[in-house]
Structures are given as structure tokens and as C-alpha cells.
Chains A and B, each alone.
Chain A
Amino acid sequence: MIRRAARSEHVSGWLFVLPAVALIGLFGIVPIIWGAILSLQQNDLLTPPKWVGLDNYRTLIHDPVFRASVHRTIVYTLLFVPISVGGALAIAILLNRRIRFSRFYRTAVFIPVATSTVATGIIFNWLLEPTYGVANYLLGQIGLGPYGYFQDPDQALYSIVAMTVWGWIGFDVIVYLAALQGVPEELVEAAKLDGAGRWAIFRNVVFPLLSPTTLFLVVWSTINALQVFDEIYVTTHGGPLQATTVMVYYLFNQAFELFHGGYAAAIAYVLFLMTLVLSVVQLWIGNRRVYYS
């Protein structure tokens, strides 16, 4: 009786997970392995592939466009992550106060979260249009500009940073606000009674309690920053003069515009490795500093 029940649990267990395992197997696990094989091939995604061993990786190391794309991706990440996470922390603390119109302020900050990356790109194309754009007009009022934004190779990547921070910061604020709900009122009150100033309370009480959230957001934003693509595709197409050709844009260009499938797969694996190394390093450094209550 007991053995039959146990056997039936094996059967029903597998039946329950079967659809999910089949789908994730076909569209998740097989592609991971196939991608590794692909990166060792010359493959135009149409005709039969040719085996080339590590040639794709060797070519990558010396490909000046690829090296530049890695450099740009890192610059983008180094700007995007601190600005969006740091900015979100400041905004979340402001929004966490009991203040009039706070519902309105929150909605204003959250609304870009629901705005698609494509729509964001099109809006900013117009906003940052050098001749008629409203950004140059508004900045002109305070004596700045005019700027070329997406059309200026020296400003394009920074313009992408500004646009993507606008689009993503609301999500970080949402996560921080949820974490702030978990900061016990008593602790803050106790620190106040002990005569701690606002900054001291933030530095010594609130910030340590938020550190697991900060670590999560830093890791998560870094992963997303390394994969930035949509907004670039819609605005600059990697230009001008390749100034915004980041890794994933180069990968897309190699795979689906030039049909160098094997070469693109090698880029994807380098990206994977970078993501993994950065996440592990961040978690390792972070976990030694994070305060878990």
C-alpha cells in the first residue's frame, strides 16, 4: 500500500512537471548547449555549418569593433547602475514621507515602468531632436546647449543613459519603497531619542537595513545594463559612427543582419561569462557588507 502510494507520487510528480520540463528543455536547456556548439562553428543560419574550433573566440579578441563594444557596454553600465540605483534610493526616501500629493508623485515616478522600451525610444527621439526638440528649448532657457544628443557621437551614449534611467528608475523606487515599509518605526524613534540627526539615522539605521535590497538592485541592474538593446535599436541603431554599438547591439548585427551566427554565439557566451563574473563578484563583496536582520 505504502509502496504503491510512493510509486504513484513518482508518476504524478513527473506528470505534473512534464509540460514545464519539456518546454524549458526545448527552449531553454537545448539552446544553451546548442549555443556553445554554435560558437565553435561558422554558421550563416541557413546552409550547413562548418566546424572552426575556437576561431570565433580568437577573432573576437582582435576585433576592434567588438573590443570597442565591450568598452562602451562597461561605460554604460558604470553610469547606469549607480545613477539609477542611487537616484532611486533618494527618490524612495522622499516618497516614503507623509506628504501631501504623495500618490501623485508616486504615479509620476512609476508610470515609465509601464512604458515600453520602443515607445520610450520614439518619445526621446522627438524630445531630443536637435533642431525642434523641446529638450534643447528647455535647456536653452537656463543657458545650456544646444546639444546634438543621439546625433552627436560624443553625446549619444550619455543620452542613452539618461533615457534608460528615465525608463527604469521607477522599478528600483518600487522595490526600495517596499523595503522601506520593513524598516521598524521603533528603531528610527529610538535613534532619534538618542539624539541622532537625520543623516546619522539614515547612515547608521536605514541604509544598513536596506542593504540587501541595494545588493539585489545593483546585481539586477548590472545584468540589465549589460544587455541593453531595445532603446538603442529604436534611437541610434548603434550609431552615430558606432558610438552606441554596445555588445548586444553588435551581437544582433552579427547574427541577424550579417548572418554570422557562430560569431554572434561566441559574443553571447562572452556576455554570459561577463554577467556571471560580475554577479558573483558583486554578491561576494556585497554579502560581506550586507546586513541581514
Chain B
Amino acid sequence: MRLRLPFSPWHLVLIPLSALMLIPLAWMLITSFQTLSESRHFPPHLLPSGLHWENYPDAWNAAPFGRFFVNSLTVTLASVAGNLVFCSLAGYAFARLHFFGRDVLFVVLLATLMVPFQVTMIPTFLIVKDLGLVNSLGALIAPNLVTPFGIFLLRQFFRTIPIELEEAARMDGCSRLGVLVRIIIPLSLPALATLGIVVFLWTWNDFLWPLIVIASPNESTVQLGLASFQGAHQTNWPLLMAGNVMALAPMLIVFVVAQRYFVQSLASTGLKG
């Protein structure tokens, strides 16, 4: 039997609050279906005169959005994969293996978490330039393949797994790598999912670093492409909003569908963007 909840006066606070959070997105969607002249009208037409779909193909053709998506997806998937592999390896070593210099190394890696990105940004640009990576997707991927945060997260999780499980496998002649792949990883899927989701959100939405190292539209990510799209179509609001909707839709749909996982991941980490 479902409990029927009485009407709560708190709805009177929550409804305006939700409106405040949703109006910006709703207004983006509505404007994307308006004509240019309709958008230049005050007071604004709160409902469009019809569904002017043409803004979408127009926006799609006005900038290489397909290219942007492929680039963003490449960079994001490579970063997620790199983090899952390298942070697992390092996290396991820090959690379980006793090797020379381990604790000092761990503290040094953690200390880099304290340093704002702006401090390392200019020298990293010079390093990437020396490596000949400027204006290539490599410049976006290489510095993002591993994060101290991911190492820390996985190390903490790996330490909660009973050591007896590994010892038995070691007795049977399983290598360290075998233990990691066959025993630790399968038991750590929630932590790996958290890391994957956070790196995904973070890389997909990153703006400042691409802005610095990428100059050509061919290598642009969605965020960078969107910013220059705005620069090129200053006040054509319906076109801009259609582009914005296209750029946002995949992430927002994934987020709403998998909200539970996103929320759990963010709650357990404390990171956005």
C-alpha cells in the first residue's frame, strides 16, 4: 500500500525554486524554436509561434558540430580509459605493495592536488609546445591521462578489500597483475565507476585548457567550439540556442537517465568541472 502524503506547504517554496533552476534551460529550448524576428521582441513571446526546427540544421551547418563531438568524445574516452588503467595500477601499488620510497612518493603526488591548475597551466603549455602537441588532441589527452585524485580514491577503496582474498590467489601462483585484474578490479566496480563518471564530466566540460592549446576548429572540443560559435553569431539568439541545445543534450540526457549514479559519484568525491 502506498502511503499518501498530505499536501505540504513546502511545495510553495519548492515550486518557485524549481522554476528558478529550470527557467534558464526552458528558455533556451523555447528560443531555439523561434524565428529571429520573434526573438527580437519585447515583451518576449513566452511560447513560439510554431516549432521552427530550421534553427537546428542551420546551427549544425554553421559550425562543424559533428567534428566537435568526435573530438570531445575521443578526448573524454581516452582520459577516462587512461585514468582507469593508470590509477588502478598506481592505486594498487600504494595500497598493497611495500616498495622503496612509497610513502614519500604518495605524499608528493597528493600535494600536487593542492596546487591550482592556473599555476601549472603556463609551464604545461610550454611543455606541450616542446612536445609538438599544440593544436592537436594529444595536447588535451596527455595531461589528463592520470590524476592524483584518482590514485587516492582507488587506493582508499582497494585498502578496504580483505587481503586474505589476494593471499589465497598468490599461493596459487597468481602474479601481482593477475591479482589486480582478476580479484581487485572486479570487486572495485563502484569506485571505478565513480572515477570514470567524474573524469567524464570534468573532461567533457573542460574549457580553459582547450582554450589555451587549441586554435583550429578542426581540433576543437564541444565547449571550445560552442564559445567560438557564440563569437561568430553574436545576437542571433535562436541559432545560438539551437547550437547550445545540441551541445548540451547528450550530457543532460545521460545525466537525467543515470542521475542516481552521477549523484552517488559526486557525493562521494566532491568534484565538478
Interface residues of chain A, those whose CB is within 8 Å of chain B, are 6, 9-14, 16-17, 19-21, 23-24, 26-32, 34-35, 38, 45, 91, 94-95, 97-101, 104-120, 122-127, 129, 131-134, 137-138, 140, 166, 168, 170-171, 174-175, 177-178, 216, 220, 223, 226-227, 229-230, 233-234, 248, 251-252, 255-256, 261, 264-265, 268-269, 271-272, 275-276, 279
Contacts and interface: CB of A to CB of B under 8 A. Distances in A.
B112 A132 contact: no
B266 to A, nearest CB: 5
Contacts of B232: none
A16 B12 CA distance: 56
Contacts of B247: 116, 119
Contact of B148 (A28, A112, A120): A28
Contact of B248 (A13, A28, A115): A115
Contact of B272 (A133, A168, A255): A168
B125 interface: yes
| Interface residue tally on B, bucketed by range | 35 or more
B182 interface: no
Interface stretch (B23-31, B50-58, B161-169, B186-194): B23-31
Contacts, number: 283
Most buried by A among B94, B120, B176, B252: B120
Given A17-B93, A28-B120, A119-B248, A233 B227 contact: yes
Nearest to A20: B90
A contacts with B: majority SS: helix
Contacts of A265: 119, 122-123
A251 B201 CA distance: 25
Contact of A230 (B5, B25, B207): B207
A114 B93 contact: no
Contact of B22 (A38, A111, A138, A140): A111
Nearest to A98: B5
B256 A107 contact: yes
